[in-house]
Amino acid sequence: MRTKFRLIALAAVCCFCVAPQAWAQQKQSTSDELLRRVEVLEKRIQVSEDIEAIKQLQNRYVNHLSFSEMGMNEIVDCFTDDAKIEVGPPASPGKEGIAKFFESIKPGHSGKEGNFVVHPIIKVNGDTATGKWLIYMMYSYQPTGQMLFWMQGVYDMEYKRQNGEWKISSMKWTKRIGPDAMPPFPGTGLLNIDAPNKLP
């Protein structure tokens, strides 16, 4: 009987000694799991915020391109200092080259166009990102603003975060659907336009 009592007592002591250690291990495991989940959620939130900021940047660029004044400072500010663009006529890399390019195509934009971008596919990787957009451009007759034709193109974009703000580091525009030149188009009866044969 005494031996049995000793075994029970020994088992109780072992449980008393082991239980706090097991509880501490379980608590540490739970804390580590919570921290891991918080880190995962923080990363997901950051990516979502980055994607939204990039969308705002792209929309801001298109709005500046569409408005009648086509403010060069506002357009150029959307790009990094070493940005490069491929959208038709050759353009030197950097903000100075980009500014000259947009000045060259400015006469062909009436400010009454219907430019908008849709269906963005954006992938963020730290402080860089890529994006693909569809862009629709409504060309108009400059004296009256009358709509002449629509064109569909694709923007292949690269972005960089600089000083906490997203900027365009590379932009390539490819026409997908639309005429190969500006009006007049032989046999169509569309009005003539005294505008450069350049596309945005």
Residues 72, 97 contacting (CB under 8 angstroms): no
Residue ranges per structural domain of the chain: 35-177
Question: In this model, does residue 3 exceed pLDDT 70?
Answer: no
pLDDT digit string, tens, across residues 161-173: 999 999 999 999 9
End-to-end CA distance of the chain: 98
- Per the model's pLDDT, the better-predicted residue between 11 and 139 turns out to be 139
pLDDT digit string, tens, across residues 41-81: 999 999 999 999 999 999 999 988 877 565 678 889 999 99
Fold topology of 35-177:
Nuclear Transport Factor 2; Chain: A, (3.10.450)
pLDDT digit string, tens, across residues 101-140: 888 877 666 566 778 899 999 999 999 999 999 999 887 7
Tally Cβ neighbours within 10 Å of residue 94. 16
